[in-house]
């Protein structure tokens, strides 16, 4: 029966092997046994042949490796892998971090982006999106600013005496949705897509910001936020979701409009509302750097192009709609859906 010390070395060696196997087989960082061999403490010893050292490493990695090889090579292998992490920017999934620490490795834990809900597994989101390549492709299709239209919660239920959505007195809420560009995500060291939604209450000059993450699940794209991030005092989960559009390019627009369901705080940030919404891409906004994005947001707020407006005065708020038939038709469809007595996803 192995002593406590022998058992501890075996346990740590097994944890170290799990980390090494992940590095070799996951595709992250393109790590090879040869690279680990080159970082092995005995790699520069003239008396040690490369083939001999590589065979020793393979023996350590075997499924049925002996406790003897663990005792002899655990510290050497731990040192080699530690040097690998120190030299390269390799991220481990959260579920491997405990194994790495048990193996005696000092691994820098990545700071969790503030917009990621507590219940979300970042690695699972990246996997759902198709890895880094899939995430890049997806974010490229939506990055930039979108004008988001929905019926204002202030107009009330028209069947219970509120304004009919089809009347010119009915109010629309206009927000500005920012899908953070892929290049900015990488510059900030973020591993998961993020969004910000700006809305402006009628009694405030500045905008209220809701932010969270961008998730691809099956045929739908979902913007997901968790309180209190989603508004003042709000503690519920909120989302916006729509069917993913595979192709870009539609009747004079570089990106077709999006339409779906909104369940997030209203513009005053005090309560969650559910409604249909539509989104129209702001042309050219995918080409901006961070400073340009901030300038667009400030301009939209200063010119009061974010906020609540009566349907009949929408073109006064956003003059370019007068020459944009596609967007007007998209808003008309939103209003038609909002006037239906039943709510359908």
Instruction: Flag whether 116 is in a domain.
Output: no
What mean pLDDT comes out for the span 197-204? 74
The tokens for 304 are 């009061």
Cα 168 to Cα 11: distance, rounded to the nearest angstrom: 72
Same domain, 80 and 165: no
How many CB atoms sit inside 10 A of residue 278's CB?
Answer: 23
Cα 305 to Cα 174: distance, rounded to the nearest angstrom: 7
Mean pLDDT in the chain?
A: 78
Same domain, 259 and 218: yes
What domain count does the chain have?
A: 2
What mean pLDDT comes out for the span 74-95? 84
Same domain, 65 and 130: no
Instruction: Flag whether 55 is in a domain.
Output: yes
What string of DSSP letters covers 239-254? EEEEEPP----BTTBS
Same domain, 93 and 190: no
Cα 116 to Cα 211: distance, rounded to the nearest angstrom: 9
Instruction: Flag whether 52 is in a domain.
Output: yes
Instruction: Flag whether 42 is in a domain.
Output: yes
Instruction: Flag whether 325 is in a domain.
Output: yes
The tokens for 334 are 């939103």
Spatial neighbors of 120 by CB under 8 A, at least 6 apart, are 213, 224
Per the model's pLDDT, the better-predicted residue between 160 and 226 turns out to be 226
pLDDT of residue 122: 74
Flag the least confident range among 79-83, 105-109, 309-313.
Answer: 105-109
pLDDT of residue 109: 62
pLDDT of residue 203: 62
Same domain, 131 and 30: no
Same domain, 322 and 257: yes
Same domain, 135 and 188: yes
pLDDT of residue 252: 42
Backbone angles phi, psi at 49, to 5 degrees: -80, 145
- Domain hosting 127: range is 122-338
CA 182 → CA 31, 175, 302, 311, distances in Å?
Answer: 25, 22, 27, 35
What mean pLDDT comes out for the span 237-260? 73
Same domain, 71 and 128: no
Flag the least confident range among 78-92, 235-249, 294-308, 323-337.
Answer: 235-249
Instruction: Flag whether 113 is in a domain.
Output: no
What mean pLDDT comes out for the span 222-229? 70
CA 324 → CA 233, 253, 264, distances in Å?
Answer: 38, 10, 28
User: SS3 of 343, please?
Assistant: coil
How many CB atoms sit inside 10 A of residue 194's CB?
Answer: 21
pLDDT of residue 159: 44
Flag the least confident range among 163-167, 226-230, 280-284.
Answer: 226-230
pLDDT of residue 58: 92
Backbone angles phi, psi at 281, to 5 degrees: -70, 140
Cα 104 to Cα 135: distance, rounded to the nearest angstrom: 33
pTM of the model: 0.64
Same domain, 94 and 144: no
Same domain, 55 and 157: no
pLDDT of residue 329: 86
Flag the least confident range among 55-59, 187-191, 207-211, 237-241.
Answer: 187-191
Instruction: Flag whether 247 is in a domain.
Output: yes
Instruction: Flag whether 111 is in a domain.
Output: no
Flag the least confident range among 8-12, 183-187, 237-241.
Answer: 183-187
Cα 70 to Cα 17: distance, rounded to the nearest angstrom: 10
The tokens for 37 are 């061999």
pLDDT of residue 158: 43
Residue 39 has pLDDT above 80, yes or no: yes
């Amino acid at each position: 029966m192995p002593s406590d010390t022998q058992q501890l070395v075996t346990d740590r060696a097994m944890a170290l092997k799990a980390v090494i196997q992940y590095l070799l087989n996951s595709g992250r960082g393109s790590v090879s046994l040869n690279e680990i061999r080159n970082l092995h403490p005995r790699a520069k010893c003239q008396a040690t042949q490369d083939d001999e050292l590589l065979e020793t490493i393979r023996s350590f990695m075997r499924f049925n490796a002996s406790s003897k090889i663990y005792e002899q090579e655990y510290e050497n292998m731990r040192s080699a892998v530690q040097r690998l992490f120190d030299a390269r920017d390799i991220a481990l999934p959260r579920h491997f971090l405990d194994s790495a620490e048990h193996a005696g490795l000092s691994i820098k834990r990545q700071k969790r982006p503030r917009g990621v809900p507590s219940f979300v597994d970042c690695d699972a989101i990246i996997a759902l999106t198709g890895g880094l390549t899939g995430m890049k492709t997806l974010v490229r299709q939506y990055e930039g600013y979108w004008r988001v239209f929905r019926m204002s919660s202030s107009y009330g239920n028209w069947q219970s005496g509120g304004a009919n959505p089809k009347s010119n007195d009915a109010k629309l809420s206009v927000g500005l949705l920012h899908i953070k560009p892929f290049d900015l995500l990488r510059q900030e060291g973020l591993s998961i897509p993020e969004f910000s939604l700006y809305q402006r209450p009628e009694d405030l000059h500045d905008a209220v910001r809701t932010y969270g993450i961008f998730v691809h699940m099956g045929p739908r794209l979902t913007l997901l936020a968790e309180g209190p991030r989603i508004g003042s005092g709000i503690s519920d989960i909120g989302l916006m979701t729509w069917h993913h559009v595979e192709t870009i390019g539609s009747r004079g627009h570089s990106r077709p409009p999006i339409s779906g369901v909104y369940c997030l705080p209203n513009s005053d940030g005090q309560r969650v509302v559910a409604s249909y919404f539509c989104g129209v891409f702001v042309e050219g906004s995918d080409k901006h750097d961070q400073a340009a994005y901030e300038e667009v947001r400030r301009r939209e707020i200063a010119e009061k192009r974010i906020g609540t407006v009566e349907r009949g005065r929408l073109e006064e708020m956003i003059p370019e709609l007068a020459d944009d038939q596609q967007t007007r038709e998209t808003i008309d469809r939103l209003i038609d859906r909002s006037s239906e007595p039943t709510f359908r996803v």
